[in-house]
Structure 1
Amino acid sequence: MTTPLDIAAYAASLVNWSELGHVYLFANGKGGVGKTTITTNIGGLAAADGLRVLIVDLNVQGNVAEDLGYVDTDADDEGKGLLAAVALGHAVTPIRNVRPNLDVVPGGQYLRRVPGVIGSPIDDMERAKAVLTLARILEPVADQYDLILIDSPPENEAMMQLALGASRFITVPVKSDVSSRKKGLKALAKDYKAMRTYNPYMTLLGAVLFATGTNATAIRKKVRADVEATLGGAAPIFDNVIRHAEAVAVDARERGKLAYELEAAVSENPAFWQIRAGLADQKSVVTKTSASVSEDFAALARELFSRAAATQQDLVAEGVWP
């Protein structure tokens, strides 16, 4: 009879966990809660600061391509390369320098085939090999990067388990609606619990409020209560939130720009008289709110990476960091 210790030992033989200590996952079982937006903006800021960053898009919608502006270009293979890596077991092949220091493994429609490629494991050992597929194909390139950020898919158990199997630090974006706070967290908690046997090193860093008011005290209390009830209090709420700013979200997706890039573009806005005289298009105007949203992401990045560093120190001291 196979025991949990047998499974853990076999999983450890498949993955060199010491190579994956810098893999961050943004996850929630519900879509539309800011996972992609947070992933791309945190990744972009880190790359702009000189860190070597890899973003892995596990979403069949491939929205990372929209955020970073390479959608409908030759570089966007819509997940075909990632599907091939999963099927053949070889290292992922990223798009290089989508931004300076920022590489991307694209997602998209081809990822719909991944669950079929992985198949239905017949025993615990086969399952370990299947759910650790992403970890195994990231490991050969992991030392090329300071950070690896994974954008997870909503409502897709097989893909979520692949993401959890490769991740060390998990951040949970949530919105104020009941569905993302309860249904989404419940789905994530189920997968998280199931994957602990195969990846015992993944750690919940916390939950971050997305698209909400910066002074939403009542909402924070509700989110904290839901997180504690669903995840057992293991994921404290981040102090920094990403404010609701529809104009910034629209500008970002339409232009393929990140919040800090929109902030830089504000200084290039045409004057009112130029628009009125027909010398410039209103569509070229970038909302000034982008500066505030850019700072939200920067503050969250500082808090997130500081918390991760402190968590790592604690785990090393406890002797449970590989």
Structure 2
Amino acid sequence: MIVITNGKGGVGKTSVTTNIGTLLAQADYKVLIVDLDSQGNVANNLGFDETDKDDGGAALHSAAIYGKAPEPIRGIRANLDVLPGGTFTDQLMDAVHGDSLRGGKLKGCVARAIAKIAPEYDIILIDTPPSSAGYVYVEEAMLASRWILAPLRPEPKSIKGLESLADRISRVQSVNPYIQLLGVILFGVPTGATRVEKRPRDILGERLAGIAPTFSAKIRNVVAADADASFRGEAAHELAAEVANQGPFWERLRNGKSSGPTLAGSAGSLAEDYMSLATEIVDHMKSQEEALEAGAN
């Protein structure tokens, strides 16, 4: 299980979660996405937010509180299931927090619920809200996870959010000693801004110092394509496929098909970024798991 988190908001956690999840599913991995953000943006990014499939987090809430196996929304894409977030997510986290103050046993209930269906999946991705929403969300996600992916923007405030994440990892490791930072993802990198990208990489290289890599793949700040994908409830590579099929404007105009929206031609670049990142994440995860197995033997 992989949790996507950082101490700061606006760093692309949900975009990374949904794009990597859909790409892995297309590559024939069986994938589950768990949305622990009460905003429920996973449903929006995957295009089912205004349908009866979006339960607002009810399935996970019920399973976690009552110790049952959760029932995900099946087949959002081929090989991709989702446990949505929403208003019930807030209720669940309030219950966990209140119970912990009374010395109860709800802590870790999300991990226990997901564990009941984990054998069905190759990869489980957990999206989280920013830390301003409360530590309990991130802690529950970390208790359920083996790896952490930390997206951040190439700016000082975002890098500082990584420091607060490191403190949280240390605290959670007393309960879940297996959790580790898999890597850092530079998100929203200005196109062609080599200096803007290099400085954060240098800083992160010093601070991570062998703990985890900053992935070579980056997600560029391709605003138009990102907006089109979000409005259409599609991943970047799905949007790119539509762009490839829409044909040049002059051809559509000649054929009388120019009235529809013109999709961002930059979708292909954004899709390539996510494809490169997905490949690097899988490769690094495999190498880490192999190293751990070798160490155990």
- Normalised to the residue count of structure 1, the TM-score between the two structures is 0.84
What is aligned with 1:16?
none
Asked if 1 retains the 8 angstrom alpha-carbon contact of 2:169 and 2:180, the reply is: no
What is aligned with 1:103?
81
What is the DSSP-based 3-state SS (H/G/I as helix, E as strand, rest coil) of the residue aligned with 1:103? strand
- Once the two structures are superposed, residues 66-91 of structure 1 have per-residue CA deviations (whole angstroms, 9 ceiling, x without a partner) of 11000110000111221212221212
Corresponding letter in the other structure for 1:154: P
The 3 A distance-change label for structure 1 pair 197 and 180 is: same
What is the DSSP-based 3-state SS (H/G/I as helix, E as strand, rest coil) of the residue aligned with 1:91? coil
How many angstroms apart in 2 are the aligned matches of 1:293 and 1:267?
14
How many angstroms apart in 2 are the aligned matches of 1:215 and 1:168?
34
How many angstroms apart in 1 are the aligned matches of 2:136 and 2:254?
53
Identity of aligned residues (%): 40
The 3 A distance-change label for structure 1 pair 113 and 314 is: same
The 3 A distance-change label for structure 1 pair 58 and 230 is: farther
CA offset at residue 29 of structure 1?
A: 1.4
What is aligned with 2:168?
191
CA offset at residue 221 of structure 1?
A: 4.3
What is aligned with 1:121?
100
Corresponding letter in the other structure for 2:154: S
Which of 125, 137, 143 is the matching residue for 2:113? Answer: 137
Asked if 2 retains the 8 angstrom alpha-carbon contact of 1:56 and 1:151, the reply is: yes
Matches within 5 A, 1:78-89: 78-89=56-67
The 3 A distance-change label for structure 1 pair 268 and 228 is: closer
What is aligned with 1:112?
90
How many angstroms apart in 2 are the aligned matches of 1:132 and 1:230?
30
Corresponding letter in the other structure for 2:265: K
- Normalised to the residue count of structure 2, the TM-score between the two structures is 0.91
What is aligned with 1:92?
70
Larger displacement relative to structure 2 (213-222 or 165-174)? 213-222
- Once the two structures are superposed, residues 153-173 of structure 1 have per-residue CA deviations (whole angstroms, 9 ceiling, x without a partner) of 112200000011011111110
Asked if 2 retains the 8 angstrom alpha-carbon contact of 1:79 and 1:107, the reply is: yes
Asked if 2 retains the 8 angstrom alpha-carbon contact of 1:214 and 1:241, the reply is: no
Structure 2: 5+ residue stretches without partners:
none
Q: May I ask how many residue pairs the two structures share in their alignment?
A: 293
CA offset at residue 214 of structure 1?
A: 5.7
Structure 1: 5+ residue stretches without partners:
1-22
How many angstroms apart in 2 are the aligned matches of 1:64 and 1:195?
25
Larger displacement relative to structure 2 (266-275 or 40-49)? 266-275
What is aligned with 2:151?
173
What is aligned with 1:315?
292
Which of 19, 35, 40 is the matching residue for 2:13? Answer: 35
The 3 A distance-change label for structure 1 pair 313 and 214 is: farther
1:239 matched to 2:239: no
Over 6 Å off, 4+ runs: none
- Once the two structures are superposed, residues 129-180 of structure 1 have per-residue CA deviations (whole angstroms, 9 ceiling, x without a partner) of 4432221111111111111111111122000000110111111101023221
How many angstroms apart in 2 are the aligned matches of 1:220 and 1:310?
26
The 3 A distance-change label for structure 1 pair 223 and 235 is: farther
What is aligned with 1:58?
36
Corresponding letter in the other structure for 2:292: L
What is aligned with 2:280?
303
Larger displacement relative to structure 2 (33-42 or 266-275)? 266-275
How many angstroms apart in 2 are the aligned matches of 1:122 and 1:108?
24
CA offset at residue 219 of structure 1?
A: 3.7
CA offset at residue 63 of structure 1?
A: 0.7
What is aligned with 2:188?
211
How many angstroms apart in 1 are the aligned matches of 2:234 and 2:179?
31
